[in-house]
């Protein structure tokens, strides 16, 4: 395995940031010169956009930002929402719930429909009723809820969004894009949000989002001008200048990451994620662990969330795994100490790699 990882942790299994392959690391290892190269940067940017459009199945424009996923999440909210606007936040976990809270801080009238953190969005008649009665300007949801290890039926919400002519469907697909099918246009998504450090296997700090024509119209109407504003990106790229200092290295790495996925073939990449997820789950069950998600039908192919065994403390489990060179993901908020996660996304969606990690996990649990 040519992957260079920290000597101390031979097997990173965190659900992002994931291990970065040498081909992606190396494209950042040289200087790209001065701002005079803006035109070349735009070429790189446009080419990255094209690749992301293929991976996300969209013809919509993609904005690529220098910043972590949260930058994209805030950008889409701040650029389209005004105080008093109605937002229906469909929540099945920390991010789904959190996005609703973010809209609330912007002064929006937010209705949070919470389905439970170990569940997926279901009871579509209730969702439909909420949409019909509440008539939100935006519906928000998460595609792959990373802390919960679950996946949501974006297509079903897209159908309702179209039926009731809701202006905006906002989908956080940060831990789905590149590892689980995302059909931005078919699913009627207006903002589909992603980040570099999950299934794309690039370093953190490149965020990206697809923006529909309807979303651009609303962005123009709202006219938000703060740091996270999306509006400057629309004309800028068309006129071949970039609104901020371009982050050449990060963009080049994101570009390379997309190329690697497209070279392998998107459907093969997605099948690899499915296969590894199935294996990971099966091994976990065989060693007596419990899956956190309430049913098999809603498991994310990019991350497996497991209950910390009843007689173990998360801290002890984490320490024991680290001592063996494996680092998995803990959790946050109400899931902290109770649920841990194995990230098999991007480079880590690798059967051999996961097998090694699961062998070590099995040994640690037996010993405990
Ligand atoms: N949304 C989801 C579903 C995530 O898993 C994460 C990160 O874990 C984010 C958003 C935020 O991304 P970032 O940490 O890059 O800001």
Alpha carbon of 174 to ligand 1 centroid (Å): 6
pTM: predicted TM-score of the whole model, two decimal places: 0.97
For residue 165, what are its two tokens?
């002519």
The pLDDT of residue 9 is: 85
Alpha carbon of 221 to ligand 1 centroid (Å): 28
Ligand 1: lining residues by beta carbon, under 6 Å: 16, 68-70, 73, 95, 142, 146, 172, 174-175, 195, 204
pLDDT one-digit tens code per residue, 144-197: 999 999 999 999 999 999 999 999 999 999 999 999 999 999 999 999 999 999
Identify the CA nearest to 61 among candidates 165, 244, 259, 216: 216
The residue contributing the CA closest to ligand 1 atom 5 is: 146
Does the 22-262 domain belong in CATH 3.40.640.10?
A: yes
pLDDT one-digit tens code per residue, 288-314: 999 999 999 999 999 999 999 998 999
Q: Domain residue spans in the chain?
A: 11-20+266-367, 22-262
Alpha carbon of 70 to ligand 1 centroid (Å): 6
pLDDT one-digit tens code per residue, 119-153: 999 999 999 999 999 999 999 999 999 999 999 99
The tens-digit pLDDT sequence of the chain (368 residues) is 568 888 888 899 999 999 999 999 999 987 776 656 778 889 999 999 999 999 999 999 999 999 999 999 999 999 999 999 999 999 999 999 999 999 999 999 999 999 999 999 999 999 999 999 999 999 999 999 999 999 999 999 999 999 999 999 999 999 999 999 999 999 999 999 999 999 999 999 999 999 999 999 999 999 999 999 999 999 877 788 888 888 999 999 999 999 999 999 999 999 999 999 999 999 999 999 999 999 999 999 999 999 999 989 999 999 999 999 999 999 999 999 999 999 999 999 999 999 999 999 999 999 98
CA dist., res. 338 & res. 346, Å (int) = 25
Residue 132 counted as an annotated binding residue? no
Residues 6+ apart with CB under 8 A from 323: none
Pick 11-20+266-367's CATH classification: 3.90.1150.10, 3.30.470.20, 3.30.70.260, 3.30.930.10.
3.90.1150.10
């Amino acid at each position: 395995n040519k992957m260079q990882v920290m000597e101390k942790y031979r097997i990173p299994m965190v659900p992002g940031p994931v291990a970065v392959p040498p081909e992606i690391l190396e494209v950042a290892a040289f200087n790209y010169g001065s701002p005079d190269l803006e035109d070349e940067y735009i070429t790189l940017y446009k080419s990255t956009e094209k690749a992301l459009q293929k991976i996300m199945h969209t013809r919509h424009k993609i904005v690529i930002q220098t910043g972590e996923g949260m930058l994209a999440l805030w950008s889409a909210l701040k650029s389209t929402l005004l105080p008093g606007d109605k937002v229906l936040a469909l929540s099945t976990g920390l991010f789904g719930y959190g996005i609703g809270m973010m809209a609330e801080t912007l002064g929006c009238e937010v209705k949070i429909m919470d389905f439970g953190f170990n569940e997926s969005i279901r009871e579509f008649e209730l969702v439909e009723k909420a949409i019909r009665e509440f008539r939100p300007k935006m519906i928000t949801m998460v595609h792959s809820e990373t802390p919960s290890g679950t996946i949501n039926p974006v297509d079903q919400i897209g159908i309702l969004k179209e039926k009731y002519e809701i202006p905006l469907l906002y989908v956080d697909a940060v831990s789905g894009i590149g590892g689980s099918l995302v059909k931005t246009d078919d699913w009627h998504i207006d903002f589909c949000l992603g980040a570099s450090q999950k299934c794309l296997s690039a370093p953190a700090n490149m965020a990206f989002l697809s923006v529909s024509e309807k979303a651009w119209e609303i962005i123009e109407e709202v006219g938000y001008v703060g740091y996270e504003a999306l509006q400057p990106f629309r004309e800028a790229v068309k006129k071949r200048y970039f609104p901020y200092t371009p982050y050449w290295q990060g963009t080049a790495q994101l570009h390379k990451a997309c190329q690697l996925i497209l070279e392998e073939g998107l459907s093969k990449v997605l099948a690899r994620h499915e296969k590894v997820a199935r294996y990971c789950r099966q091994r976990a069950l065989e060693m007596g662990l419990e899956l956190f998600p309430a049913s098999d039908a809603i498991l994310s192919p990019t991350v497996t969330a497991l209950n910390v065994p009843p007689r173990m403390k998360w801290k002890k489990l984490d320490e024991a795994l680290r001592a063996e060179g494996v680092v998995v993901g803990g959790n946050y908020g109400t899931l902290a100490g109770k649920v841990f996660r194995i990230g098999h996304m991007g480079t880590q969606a690798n059967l051999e790699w996961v097998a090694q990690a699961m062998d070590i996990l099995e040994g640690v649990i037996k010993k405990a």
